[in-house]
Structure 1
Amino acid sequence: MGSTDAACLTCRKKSRRCDRARPKCKRCVSKGLQCEGYPDKFRFCGIASRGKWKNRDAPIPAPNAPVESSSQSSPRANQNDVRVDDDRPRHSTTVSNAAGLATPAQSLTPRDQHEIEKAFGAAEVKTLLAHYDQAICPHQIAEADGSHNPYRLYVLPLADEQIGLLYAVLGLSACHLGRLNNDAHLCESAAVDYRLKAISALGQKINKVGSGSFDENERDGVFATIQILLLHDICESGISSHGAHISGAMSICSQLKLDQTLTVEHKRTVFFLGNLVWLDIIRAFSTPERLCFTQDLRIKLLSLCDLRFESVNGCPRDLVLIIGEILEQAKAHSNGSLDAAEFKENVQNLARNLYLWDSSRCFYPSNDSLWLSVAEAFRHTCILRTWRLLDATESAAESRIQKSVTAILDSLANIPGSNQLIELLVMPLFMAGADCLSPHSRHYILLRLAEIKGRSEMGNAAPQNLLEKVWNARAQQSEHDSGNVPWMLFTHNSESAHQDDYLII
Structure 2
Amino acid sequence: MPRKKAADRVGPVKTRSRSGCKECRASRVRCDLKKPICTRCLEKGLVCSTQLVLKWESEFVSRGLAFGRAGVWSKARAAGGLPPPPGKSSAAFLLRDQEWCPIPLIESWGFVNSGVSTFEQPYEVNVACDELNALVVRDKGKSPALDDLLDENADWSLSPSSLSSPSSIRELSDCCSPVPLVSPHLAPPLSMFPSLSDSNQGRLFDYYLQQVCPRTTASSKLSSPFASIILPFCMSASPILFKAIQALGACHWSRFDSTYSVIGLRLKSEALRGLRYRLSTEGSLLCSADPEVLAIMMMLCLYEIVDNCDQRWTIHLKGAKELIRIRRQQQQLTPSRPRQSLDPVSAFAELFFAFQDVMGRTACGEEVLFGTDYWQENNRNIDLWMGCSPELVSILSSITELSRTRRQLTSEAARKAFSHRAASLGRRLENLVQETTDDDDNSDDGSLRSAAELKRLAAVLYLHCALYGASPSTPLVIGYVRRILRLVSHLLDSGSLVSMTWPVFVAAVELDPLHDEVWRDETGESVVYGRPLVLRALAAMAESSVSNVARTRAVIVKIWQARDSDMLKGSPVDAADDSVAGCNDWEWYVAPISTAMSLA
- Structure 1 residue identity aligned to 2:479: K
Matched residue, 2:269: 196
- 1:317-340 residue CA offsets vs partner (Å, 9 max, x unmatched): 221111112223345678999997
**2:489 and 2:468 mapped to 1: Cα distance?**
29
Answering whether residue 519 of structure 2 is matched by residue 443 of structure 1, we say no
Which of 261, 281, 299 is the equivalent residue of 1:228?
Answer: 299
Aligned pair partner of 1:415 in 477, 483, 491: 491
Q: Which secondary structure does the structure 2 equivalent of 1:424 belong to?
A: coil
Q: CA deviation at 1:349?
A: 3.0
How far 1:221 moved relative to its partner?
A: 1.6
Rate the CA distance shift 1:213–1:234 in 2: closer, same or farther, 3 A. closer
Change (3 A) 1:246 1:49: farther
Which residue is 1:13 aligned to? none
The alpha carbon displacement at 1:204 in A equals 4.3
Taking the aligned partners of 1:472 and 1:492, their CA distance within structure 2 comes to 14
Deviation at 1:397, TM superposition (A): 0.4
Counterpart of 1:378 in structure 2 is 455
Residue 25 of structure 1 is matched in structure 2 by: none
Residue 293 of structure 1 aligns to a residue whose secondary structure is: coil
Query: Structure 1 residues 243, 236: closer, same or farther in 2, change over 3 A?
Result: same
**Are residue 501 (structure 1) and residue 596 (structure 2) matched?**
yes
Point out which structure has higher relative CO (alpha carbons under 8 A, 6+ apart): 2
Name the residue aligned to 1:114. Answer: none
Partner SS for 1:312: coil
Q: Distance in 1 between matches of 2:493 and 2:432?
A: 26
* Cα distance in 1 for residues equivalent to 2:391 and 2:481: 21
* Corresponding residue for residue 152 of structure 1: 227
What amino acid is aligned across from residue 373 of structure 1 in structure 2? S
Q: Secondary structure at the match of 1:476?
A: helix
Give the match for residue 20 of structure 1. Answer: none
Q: Which amino acid aligns with 1:406?
A: R
Alignment map for 1:10-409 (pairs within 5 Å): 51-52=146-147, 56-57=151-152, 79=184, 89-90=194-195, 120=196, 123-145=199-221, 148-159=223-234, 161-183=237-259, 186-187=260-261, 189-206=262-279, 211-214=284-287, 219-257=290-328, 258=331, 261-264=338-341, 266-299=343-376, 310-331=383-404, 341=415, 344-345=418-419, 347-359=421-433, 365-390=442-467, 394-409=470-485
Cα distance change, pair 283–458 in 1 and its aligned pair in 2 (3 A): closer
Displacement of 1:501 after TM fit? 0.8
In 1, Cα distance between equivalents of 2:435 and 2:194: 49
The one-letter code matched in structure 1 to 2:300 is L
Query: Is the contact made by 2:220 and 2:445 (CA closer than 8 Å) also made in structure 1?
Result: no
Supply the AA of the counterpart residue of 1:79. Answer: P
8 A Cα contact 1:377 1:411, kept in partner: yes
Secondary structure at the residue paired with 2:184? coil
Query: Once the 2 structures are TM-superposed, how far is the Cα of residue 151 of structure 1 from its aligned partner?
Result: 2.0
Give CA deviations for 1:148-187 in whole Å, capped at 9, x if unaligned: 543233323444623432222121111111221232xx21
Shift of residue 55, structure 1, vs aligned partner: 7.4
Cα separation, partners in 2 of 1:406 and 1:478, compared to 1, 3 Å: closer
CA distance in 1, matches of 2:557, 2:203: 37
Kindly provide the CA deviation profile for residues 391-424 of structure 1, in whole angstroms up to 9, marking residues without a partner as x.
Answer: 66x431012222221221233244353343x311
1:238–1:462 contact (8 Å) kept in structure 2: yes
- Note the C-alpha offset of 1:203: 3.8
Q: Distance in 2 between matches of 1:353 and 1:52?
A: 49
Assess, with a 3 A threshold, how the Cα gap between structure 1 residues 130 and 376 changes in structure 2: closer, same or farther.
Answer: closer
- Structure 1 residues 395 and 410, CA gap change in structure 2 (3 angstroms): same
Structure 1: distance between partners of 2:434 and 2:549: 32
Match of 1:464 among 553, 564, 571: 553
State the 1:224 CA deviation. 1.8
Q: 1:371 to 1:55 in 2, by over 3 A?
A: closer
Post-superposition offset of 1:262: 2.0
3-state SS of paired residue (2:483): helix
Q: Give 5+ residue unaligned stretches, structure 1.
A: 1-47, 61-77, 91-119, 494-498
User: Quick check: 1:56–1:181 contact (8 Å CA) kept in 2?
Assistant: no
Mapped partners of 2:424, 2:375: distance in 1: 16
Q: CA RMSD in A?
A: 4.0
How far the C-alpha of 1:367 sits from its partner, in A, is 1.4
Partner Cα distance (1:350, 1:230) in 2: 34
Q: Tell me by how many angstroms 1:84 deviates.
A: 9.0
Identity %, equivalent residues: 17
1:475 and 2:551 are equivalent in the alignment? no
TM-score, normalised with respect to structure 1: 0.66
Q: Is the alpha carbon distance of 1:361 and 1:423 closer, same or farther for their aligned partners in structure 2, counting shifts above 3 Å? A: closer
Q: What is the CA–CA distance in structure 1 between the aligned matches of 2:374 and 2:148, rounded to whole Å?
A: 40
Cα shift at 1:374: 2.5
Closer/same/farther in 2, CA of residues 162 and 325 from structure 1, 3 Å limit: farther
Aligned with 1:431 (options 506, 509, 529): 506
**Highest CA radius of gyration, 1 or 2?**
2
Considering fraction of residues, name the structure with more helix.
1
Residues 384/490 of structure 1: CA separation in 2 closer, same or farther (3 Å cut): closer
Q: Which amino acid aligns with 2:460?
A: I
Q: What is the alpha-carbon distance in structure 2 between the residues aligned to residue 451 and residue 327 of structure 1?
A: 29
Q: Aligned pairs, how many? A: 395
1:49 Cα deviation from its structure 2 partner: 12
Aligned-partner Cα distance in 1 for 2:297–2:376: 21
Aligned mates of 2:211, 2:274 — CA distance in 1: 26
Q: Residue 242 of structure 1 aligns to which amino acid in structure 2?
A: W
Q: Distance in 2 between matches of 1:53 and 1:240?
A: 36
Deviations 1:209-254 (A, max 9, x none): 76433585xx222222232223223322343512132222222222
Change (3 A) 1:55 1:162: closer
Kept in 2: contact 1:359–1:375 (CA 8 A): no
Cα contact 1:159–1:165 (8 A) shared by 2: yes
SS in 1 for 2:313: coil
Contact persistence 1:132–1:173 (CA under 8 A)? yes
User: Partner of 1:4 in structure 2?
Assistant: none
Q: Name the structure 1 match of 2:37.
A: none
Give the TM-score, by structure 2 length: 0.57
Equivalent-residue separation in structure 1 for 2:408 and 2:276 (angstroms):
28
